[in-house]
Amino acid sequence: MSNESSPADATDDTARSALDSADRGDSPVRRAGQALLAPFYNRRQGRIRAFWRVLVPLLAFLAGSQILAAVIAPRFGMTAGSLLIYSLRAALAVGLLIVWARYVDRRTVSAYGIHFASDSLQHLLAGLVIGIGIHALALAVFLAGGWVTVTGFVHVGAATRPFTLVVLGWTVAWVCVAISEELLFRGLFIPNAAEGLGRLSNRAALIGAWAVSSAVFAVVHFSQVTSPVAFLFWSLIGGGLLGTAYVVTGDLALPLGLHIAYNLAGNTLFGLTMVESERVPSVLDLTFTGPNAVVGIPGAVNAATVVVGMAATLAWARYRCGGLGLRTDLATWESRD
């Protein structure tokens, strides 16, 4: 493996010019072909450029997800269909990452922040605790404010299977959602986007990639982005919570744990999504009486508890990593060859 790191595609202009000069003896046709490929292919690194390394897997995943939903959703119930769709989406994301790392991005899988050490397990567990705590705090605020009442337990909705089996199915589904989205929006997206901003310092490039990934994460959740406030809320989750957990640890385990617990607690445990549209079966059956600006998914309380979750995430990262700072190595590339 080479020990030489390159911060980004944009720093390759000088090297590309040198290569072009060395090729002056080539035919005009070949030089024209190289010029046409230059916006797409980095000759020095031997791989496609950062913009395409971000865009192509994103589009492939979104297209694959739409096809899966169109084929599976009409044929299965809500729980079985969602579990099957989310499981296949996770398999798609894992497959994309493995193929991309080996044949396109030419970096090790661990360079995306995927580790199987005790540190990662601790990050995962911390993320699970913080993620559940975010929604537990929101529920406590709702109850204290008189904005929600617990009308019962075990809300089954349209489910026809035993409740325990339904809860287990949705738990697996939330794990699959977190795996696919963290691999894509944090693991694949942020390092490659940071490389593409390589005219900046590594720190600035990483911050820029974090911001762009947060916005894209919000846009992709288009079905839940019904207003500018909702867009900011989903950006806050994608960037402020999940993205920050990634860029301060360099480990996908922490945002993975946060993502799993956030979906599991908000939907299946506490039923806080009952306030909007169709909901999944949940342990608590709630009736909301507060204004949507307060109790809605992108409402004031949920936004505030996400900020509290961010503070807890940063406190954990500082404690576990012996300090707090950006993992600027995410903005560099080391070839696996």
Whether residue 153 is predicted with pLDDT greater than 90 in this model: the reply is no
Span of 10-19, 68-77, 110-119, 131-140 with lowest mean pLDDT:
10-19
Distances (CA, A) of 239 to 63, 143, 210, 232, 274: 23, 28, 6, 10, 25
Is residue 174 within 8 A of residue 263, CB to CB? The reply is: yes
Q: For the chain, give the mean pLDDT.
A: 87
Strand partners, 333: 6
Measure the CA–CA gap between 190 and 206, rounded to whole angstroms. Answer: 7
Give the residue carrying structure tokens 């980004």.
8
Half-sphere exposure of 243 (CA within 13 A, CB side): 26
Considering the chain, what percentage of its residues have pLDDT values greater than 90?
64
Span of 19-23, 50-54, 81-85, 219-223 with lowest mean pLDDT:
19-23
Measure the CA–CA gap between 301 and 136, rounded to whole angstroms. Answer: 12
Measure the CA–CA gap between 219 and 238, rounded to whole angstroms. Answer: 10
Torsion angle (degrees, nearest 10) of CA 48, 51, 57, 62: -150
Local confidence band at 243 (pLDDT 50, 70, 90 cut-offs): very high
**DSSP string of 265-285?**
IIIIIS-GGGGSSS---EEEE
Read off the pLDDT of each residue in 46-52 and give the average, rounded to a whole number. Answer: 91
Read off the pLDDT of each residue in 227-246 and give the average, rounded to a whole number. Answer: 92
Query: What burial letters (b/e) apply to 240-263, b meaning 16+ CB within 10 Å?
Result: bbbbbbbbbbbbbbbbbbbbbbbb
Is residue 4 within 8 A of residue 45, CB to CB? The reply is: no
Whether residue 105 is predicted with pLDDT greater than 60 in this model: the reply is yes
Local confidence band at 67 (pLDDT 50, 70, 90 cut-offs): very high
* Residue 114 Rama label (left phi>0; alpha psi -120 to 50; beta): beta
Work out the number of other CB atoms within 10 angstroms of the CB of residue 194.
30
Measure the CA–CA gap between 251 and 175, rounded to whole angstroms. Answer: 17
Distances (CA, A) of 249 to 8, 127, 156, 314, 319: 21, 12, 38, 9, 11
Read off the pLDDT of each residue in 180-194 and give the average, rounded to a whole number. Answer: 96
Span of 87-101, 145-159, 186-200, 294-308 with lowest mean pLDDT:
145-159
| β 47-48/148-155 pair status | unpaired
Q: Which pLDDT score, from 0 to 100, does residue 161 have?
A: 74
Q: Which pLDDT score, from 0 to 100, does residue 4 have?
A: 43
Q: Give long-range contacts, CB 8 A cutoff, 24+ apart: 193-196.
A: 193/50, 193/54, 194/8, 194/330, 194/331, 195/6, 195/7, 195/8, 195/9, 195/50, 195/331, 195/332, 195/333, 196/8, 196/9, 196/10, 196/49, 196/50, 196/51, 196/54
Taking the alpha carbons at both ends of the chain, their separation in whole angstroms is 5
Local confidence band at 41 (pLDDT 50, 70, 90 cut-offs): confident
* Single-letter amino acid, residue 176: C
H or E element at residue 152: strand 148-155
